[in-house]
Structures are given as structure tokens and as C-alpha cells.
Amino acid sequence: MKKLFRTIVIASLTIIIGFTSTEAFAGNKDRAGQAGANELLVNPWAASSGWGNAGMASIKGVEAMWSNVAGISFVNSMDLNFSYTNWLAGSGTSVVSFGFLTRVSESVVAGLSVMSMNFGEIQRTTTENPDGGIGTYKPSLMNINIAVAKSFSNSIHGGFVLKIISESIADMNGTGVAIDAGIQYVTGITDNIHFGIALKNIGPTMKYSGDGLSYSVLFDGMASNITVVQRADEFELPTQLNIAAAYDFNFENASRLTLAFNFNSNAFSKDQFIGGIEGSFRDILMLRAGYTFESGVTKSIEDSDCTNVNRGFSCGASVQAPLNKKGLKVCIDYSYRDTAHWKGTHSVGARILF
């Protein structure tokens, strides 16, 4: 029965990935800039962003809900994670995330995470008041993720995420849903070889609605104003396919060196190649670095071929301390992502592992 269930899951995901990669990912350069809800592509977590999301094949814990949901199946009992990100330092943009996982059976893990992106107060302007002075408003972007993953064997793990997307200002909002699916395959004498596939942000189009799309106007020959409602166009979600691999060099005293690679095929932006390295000393201190390459990333931001404010380099560190002999641990994470024109993106996080 296990073999049948495993075969069905793998075959289903293979069909989905094959169809999506043929239909959604064709001609992505021509479709650049046509998607919305791009906050779905922002990694809000401090550990995995430290090596440029290279570790999607071997990621575990709460952060796997964003990277590759299959990784949540490795949680022992419970996992709590909080992260704060100063996005493009100096821009006034921040990202706050919280998530938790719990094991509901011997082979099944479920979890919930929330990401909120805040831009501070922005001056309200109109055609009559282009310089503002008439108050402020606060845009709000929020993603709620509900995840379930199952270990089909010691080698194969798979899962799904349901995403609820909310974007709003005072008088207009948009709401959507999306699904992620992921598989991790672990092999090797010491389970040190990892492969992963993740299909992200698959869902129906989104559309804005609200009073912000209407305005009052007085036409010639009319005695009173009438309300005109503008039609908002629908937009697609930034679908992404990730194919990743990682190899662990295991040493004595629970030390490890991991090399990882991840290929991102983006439906509405350039494809990316990510390489990363992570070292762990006695499972207490972790150091990591990564580089994300895409066409034009090395050129000046003023060059038309450079379409990403991120410059590719990232690095980070984690310090993990056991609190008792039953497996309770506390971990502090930090990551830095290099950017153009800003002072980088900085993330700080705290994890509690049971």
C-alpha cells in the first residue's frame, strides 16, 4: 500500500510539473513584469536566506513552508520560528513572519505560518494635491500558509501548502489563493545526498476591488455628479519551479559541510541558478553563504539588462544551543543579502525546536 501511495504522489507531481513547465514557463522573458503578488517570492526567513535559498533539497522545519514544504516532515515534535527582516535597508520596508509546526501522527506533520510586509506611512496624493498634505495611508501585504507533509518512507517525503494572499490599502483590496507542492528524496549511506522539487504559487488570477476604483465626476450638461467605477484587470501569480540538490560531507562530533545547488524557473522573470555552502560545527555554530546568478545581475542597476535590485551574494550564521537532554533547542539566525542602491537586506530570527 505504501508503494502504491508513493507511486501515485510522485506520478501526480511529475505530471503537474511537466504540464506547468511546458505551459506556464514558456517565454518567461517576454512575460516579465506581468504578474502580481510578488511578495510570494520574498523569503522572509533568516536561516535559509543566508545562502540564497540554495538548500531547498535539504531544508527542514518551519522555513520549509516557503522553500520546499516536504522538509517540514522532518520535525520531531514541534517547531516555532519568528523572523524580522529589514527589507532593502533604508527603504522603510519591513517583513515580520511567524510559524509553527507540530507532528500529528508518526508520518504526518502540519503547520501554519503568517508573513506580513509593511511599508510604513505613505503620503496620500490626488490630481488636485500632487504634493500630498492630505493625510497618509498604510499598504498591507499578508500571506497565510497552511501546510501538511507526509513521510512515505525513510527516503521520500512530500507535502502541500495552501496560501491565502491578501493585499490592501484603506479603500481597495485584493485576495487570492495559491498552492505549493514539494518532494524531497534522501539517499546515501548516511542520508547525505538530497534531491528536491518544488512547484510554487499555482493558483487562479487575482483582482482588486473596493471604493478606490470609483470616483465622482460632473459631466457637461448634468446638474449633479455621478459615480464612475473603473474596471480592474486580473493578474496572474508569480509561478515558480525549483529543482535542487545537496550533498553533505559528514565529520566527527556532529560537524558537517553541505554543498547545495538550486535552479529556479520563473514564469514572469529571469531564471536563476543558485549555489550555496553551509558549514556546521558540532551542530552549534552554522555558517553559510550563497550566490544567485541571473542574466544581467553583474551589470549596473542603470543598465536595461539588469532587472533585479538584489546583487546575488548572501551570507548568514546561526547559533544553536540545547536546553535539556530531551532535544529542546533554541537557535538564533541572521542573514544578509547584498542589494544595489540600498544598504542590503538584513534578517534576524529565533527558533525553538522540540
The amino acid present at 227, given as its one-letter code, is T
CA distance 166 to 22: 29
Mean pLDDT, rounded, of the chain: 88
pLDDT for the residue 300? 85
pLDDT for the residue 60? 95
Candidate from 14-28, 67-81, 258-272, 315-329 with smallest mean pLDDT: 14-28
Mean pLDDT of 37-64: 95
Candidate from 3-17, 38-52, 126-140, 223-237 with smallest mean pLDDT: 3-17
Mean pLDDT of 325-341: 91
Question: Is the pLDDT confidence value at 19 over 70?
Answer: no
CB proximity list for 222: less than 8 A, separation 6 or greater: none
CB proximity list for 346: less than 8 A, separation 6 or greater: 85, 86, 89, 334, 335, 336, 337
Task: Take residue 246 and report the three cell numbers written for it.
Answer: 545537496
Distances in Å between the alpha carbon of 141 and those of 63, 96, 135, 269?
Answer: 19, 11, 20, 21
Mean pLDDT of 332-344: 94
Domains of the chain by residue range:
2-353
CB proximity list for 157: less than 8 A, separation 6 or greater: 70, 71, 73, 74, 149, 150, 151, 183, 184, 185, 186
Q: pTM for the whole thing?
A: 0.87
pLDDT for the residue 22? 45
Instruction: Give the domain 2-353 fold.
Output: Porin (2.40.160)
Question: Is the pLDDT confidence value at 232 over 90?
Answer: no
Q: How confident is the model at residue 128 (pLDDT cuts 50, 70, 90)?
A: confident
Percent of the chain with pLDDT over 90: 63
